[in-house]
Amino acid sequence: MNDDEYWGEVAVLTAFAEGVRLSTLKSTRSVFANVRPDDPTPSIDWERHLLAASLVTTQAPESIQSGALRIVQGCLQDVDASTQQKEAAEYLLRRLGNARAADLALEKGLTQDRKDNIGASPLSLDLIRRTLELSVDGGDRRMPVNHFQRQFWSAAEEARWTSVSAPTSAGKSHIVRLWLATQIANRSRYRAVYLVPTRALIEEVSRELETALGDNATVTTMPWDTRVGERPHELFILTQERLHILLHKHPRMTFDLIFVDEAQKLSDGTRGVLLQRTLDEAARRGEPKIIFASPLTSNPELLVEGVPGTSTALLSETVTVNQTLIHVNQRRYHPMLWDMVALVNGERMPIGEFDLPARPVPESKRLSLVAVALGSEHSGNVVYANGAAEAEKIAGQICDALSSSSWQVTKDTLDVVELVEKTIHPQYLLAAYLKQGVAFHYGNMPLLVREAVERLFRTGDIRYLVCTSTLLEGVNLPCQNLFVRAPRKGNNTLMSAPDFWNLAGRAGRWGVEFQGNIVCIDTESESIWSEVPVRRSRQPLERATDTLPRKYLELHQYIQEGTPVGISRTDPILQALFGILAAARRQEQDLNDLPWLQVDAKEKTALSELVDEKLSSLTVSPETLQTHAGISPISIQRLFDHFQSVGSRDEFELAPPESYDALNSYIRAIQICFTFLGADFTSNEGRHYSLALLFVEWMRGRPLAVLIASRLSYLRRNGKKHSLPVEIRNVLKDVEQYARFEGPLFLACYSDVLNEAIPPDPGAEGSRDIAMMMELGVSRITEVSMMSLGLSRTSVVALSEHIVGDNLSPAECLEWISSRKIESLDLPVLVIEEVLNALHKRANTI
């Protein structure tokens, strides 16, 4: 009997299958106390089911491991289970490498600490052996790990290229931190990059790694940090955009490791192409180890096929926490009576019925009312919304439904309310909802506010958190219950199966709870769900560059016709693909050596010849083209020619943001970027004015509250109708999408091309770093230094009101902060807290 046959026999074993079903039934009913059972919950013969679970090892498929975990954890939580049965369940948990769940049972008083009573029994000796097998060398001691973490450790040690895929709660972040700490401790010099898809994750990951590494390495989050290169051990936490800038600023910098978190983001359109291009460039410098990590993908080997050097792909089946998929639907002819069904490996299991607290009219209330009906007795509820406006509306509906319940507002919550009112707007809806234990969360919100909301959710100070697709970007925000209805992503497009299961992975906190629940609402409606989730499944990885074969003819024509700006705007992936091919050919790379380029040899030759032909006629320097490889080189040449044809630099100069003539210069630059580079700034001159004003005010370091007030004042002066919540969201969106992304991309190119086409006069003030000022939203070295210390822009802008010096280093900023009584300044409590924390953490590392 082979392994597949053996595990197939275990799956259908009556004692195993029945144990999984009964454990799921009992644990789900215990979580949702408001659900009335359809029938009594049967008693459970734990000894019989635990014996079946003991057949399962760490080599079992994911579904089998999950079943064993349900039986074991169900026994631990059952008040009717005996002490001996719970001891057996704890033993099985530890044998499967799930020490965190076993420790959780101890913390909850479900088991007793038996360390002092362990003798040399066969079971204890077996457990010692398994513990040693599932451990790694942490330097001064052996560190316990689970099966996936042990596999990761071996793969990372042995291969140059590694691609791993594991469930969201498998403990990837912990093992990466531990592995990095040992690498740094064992090397006299070590430089690593930890790539994340969003700025929000930069801050989260950097905090965790600073804690893990202490003073052993400099953790850097910005390519503009003045400390780059100062110490022998450096760890960069960057997005692909920031890595691209770092590579440009330090053309000889090499790395020992590049870790790509959320590697499925290689499929993310133009940003996915940029990620691929930065990886290509970094991998060419020396021979760094490159590790890709992605959740629940079926083909992790795709990312290491054809790469130079040793490679390995690891698809882990390790399960550490139960996740129960639940369908809830309205009873026919009874709008307020709903049925709940759990699904385990596709099998439907009736749980019971429950009542809504109000009639579900209009339809938009169905999600919020179900969430209130099922989750109001406890915290840890996340409700998924399809956008920022919907998130605010659903949060308001939940607050209204909970209005009759008593909720004690904590001091920590009131501190966040103060932060929101002072840094965004006194009437921002979040402030009012927080007082009722409800919050919303989306990507455009200021970092300090998002982090404060996340902290309140983790501590239970808020019971409902309404989130958008920010949760798909890897934000570490696990929950007990996730409520979902008609999920969409981006521009109201249907959510793909990979994105849904990545989202679902947030349900269940390893080491905090035994079970997470994904509650899918209205699954019987085909108009609501294009594909009803029935069982968790792995999905294939695809890179954005994999679209090239499908778009080969379009790309060829696009390049042949000189990359028309209209097409660059409407189909930006073509510009990105041309850019990555042009970057490779400028560095004299043979397209046959690009492992991700999946077209036949004839097409590669034709592409290579066409790209070479177009590049040969360009007069813009290769350095400028390489720096802005996300923009068509032909478009850059058109802009270069336009500047030279006019010949007068004064007409195009970008004034410093603090200059009174800055606004007009940026209006003109936006119009030119739209015309020549294909920037997505729209052709509306009024829109150009509002964007230019936003850019200038943003780079001047204006607080977000001031930007919002300025927008509202402009609308009132011009007699335009507006809604306060809508305009707050619009400003937040414009800051993220345009001031921090589109603006740096195109205006930095504009500035560099102008400097090359019409060089400034000798002795003139040096060119400002447009990309830095726009992404960070500040213009002084002092403010950049404070950000390098880990302070958010919100705190930096608040402090900058009191700091006169323009060019303070990070050490000088720390000295300034330590010499003042920060608590006496008129700053929000959480800003003061962040500043003092940074002072405490950094004082001994500068």
Per-residue pLDDT tens over the stretch 190-216? 999 999 998 888 988 998 898 888 889
Does 845 have pLDDT greater than 60? no
pLDDT at site 528: 87
Q: For the ranges 166-180, 275-289, 561-575, which has the lowest average pLDDT?
A: 166-180
Q: How far apart are CA 435 and CA 425, in angstroms?
A: 16
Is residue 342 a contact partner of residue 24, using CB atoms and an 8 Å limit? yes
SS3 labels along 274-341: HHHHHHHHHHHCCCCEEEEEEECECCHHHHHCCCCCCEEEEECCCCCCEEEEEEEEEECCEEEEEEEE
Q: How far apart are CA 581 and CA 601, in angstroms?
A: 15
pLDDT at site 472: 66
pLDDT at site 38: 86
CB atoms within 10 A of CB 731: 24
Does 706 have pLDDT greater than 50? yes
Amino acid identity, position 42 = P
Q: How far apart are CA 749 and CA 662, in angstroms?
A: 18
Q: How far apart are CA 524 and CA 327, in angstroms?
A: 9
- Sign, CA dihedral 783-784-790-794, equals positive
Q: How far apart are CA 677 and CA 506, in angstroms?
A: 40
With a CB cutoff of 8 Å and minimum separation 6, the contacts of 459 are: 412
Interior/surface letters 10-46, b for 16+ CB within 10 angstroms, e for the rest:
bbeeebbbbbbbbbbbbbbbebbebbeeeeeeeebeb
Per-residue confidence band for 119, with pLDDT thresholds at 50, 70 and 90 = very low
For 654, the token pair is: 């970008």
pLDDT at site 124: 61
For residue 167, whether the previous peptide bond is cis, meaning omega lies within 30 degrees of 0, is no
Q: Of 125-134, 167-176, 385-394, which has the strongest mean pLDDT?
A: 385-394
Does 756 have pLDDT greater than 90? yes
Q: For the ranges 449-458, 525-534, 700-709, which has the lowest average pLDDT?
A: 525-534
Strand pairing category for 257-260 and 481-484: unpaired
Is residue 131 a contact partner of residue 94, using CB atoms and an 8 Å limit? yes
Q: How far apart are CA 776 and CA 106, in angstroms?
A: 46
Q: How far apart are CA 683 and CA 768, in angstroms?
A: 27
Does 667 have pLDDT greater than 90? yes
* φ, ψ at 199 (rounded to 5°): -65, -35
Does 120 have pLDDT greater than 50? no
In eight-state DSSP terms, residue 471 is G
Percent of the chain with pLDDT over 90: 68
With a CB cutoff of 8 Å and minimum separation 6, the contacts of 546 are: 267, 596, 598
Per-residue confidence band for 686, with pLDDT thresholds at 50, 70 and 90 = confident
* Bridge partners (DSSP) listed for residue 193: 236, 258
At the top level of CATH, which class does the domain 137-315 belong to? alpha beta
pTM (predicted TM-score): 0.92
pLDDT at site 203: 87
Q: Report CA 668 to chain centroid distance, whole Å.
A: 35
Domains 137-315 and 323-521 share a fold: yes
**Closest to 448 (Cα-Cα) out of 793, 64, 98:** 793
For 244, the token pair is: 């691209």
Q: How far apart are CA 582 and CA 603, in angstroms?
A: 15
Is residue 349 a contact partner of residue 339, using CB atoms and an 8 Å limit? no
CB atoms within 10 A of CB 807: 11
**3 state DSSP class of 753:** helix
For 133, the token pair is: 């097998």
pLDDT, average across residues 792-801: 94
pLDDT at site 846: 47
* pLDDT digit string, tens, across residues 285-338: 989 999 999 988 899 999 999 999 999 999 988 888 889 999 999 999 999 999
**Closest to 493 (Cα-Cα) out of 470, 475, 469, 465:** 469
Is residue 227 a contact partner of residue 267, using CB atoms and an 8 Å limit? no
* pLDDT digit string, tens, across residues 222-271: 999 988 988 999 999 999 999 999 999 999 999 999 999 999 999 999 99
Q: How far apart are CA 571 and CA 499, in angstroms?
A: 23
Percent of the chain with pLDDT over 70: 96
CB-count exposure of residue 614 (10 Å: 0-12, 13-18, 19+):
buried
Does 116 have pLDDT greater than 70? no
Does 647 have pLDDT greater than 80? no
Does 474 have pLDDT greater than 60? no
The three-point CA angle 447-450-456 to 5° equals 140
**Closest to 90 (Cα-Cα) out of 141, 127, 37:** 127
Q: How far apart are CA 828 and CA 419, in angstroms?
A: 6
CB atoms within 10 A of CB 599: 15
**3 state DSSP class of 137:** strand
User: What are the DSSP calls for 24-46, one per residue?
Assistant: HHHHHHHH-TTSEESSPPPP--H
pLDDT at site 763: 67
**Closest to 170 (Cα-Cα) out of 304, 43, 66, 258:** 66
Does 179 have pLDDT greater than 80? yes
Per-residue confidence band for 770, with pLDDT thresholds at 50, 70 and 90 = very high
Q: How far apart are CA 798 and CA 258, in angstroms?
A: 35
Does 660 have pLDDT greater than 60? yes
pLDDT at site 317: 83
Q: Which residue has the higher pLDDT, 51 or 536?
A: 51
Q: How far apart are CA 376 and CA 809, in angstroms?
A: 50
**Domain boundaries in the chain?**
3-96+98-133, 137-315, 323-521, 548-646, 780-842
Q: How far apart are CA 295 and CA 539, in angstroms?
A: 9
For all residues of the chain together, what is the average pLDDT? 90
Q: Length of the chain, please?
A: 846
The three-point CA angle 176-226-183 to 5° equals 25
* φ, ψ at 352 (rounded to 5°): 160, -165
Second CATH level (architecture) for the domain 323-521: 3-Layer(aba) Sandwich (3.40)
Name the strand (E) or helix (H) holding 482.
Answer: strand 481-484
Is residue 379 a contact partner of residue 462, using CB atoms and an 8 Å limit? yes
Per-residue confidence band for 421, with pLDDT thresholds at 50, 70 and 90 = very high
Does 800 have pLDDT greater than 60? yes
Is residue 272 a contact partner of residue 542, using CB atoms and an 8 Å limit? no
pLDDT at site 132: 67
- Sign, CA dihedral 453-457-460-465, equals positive
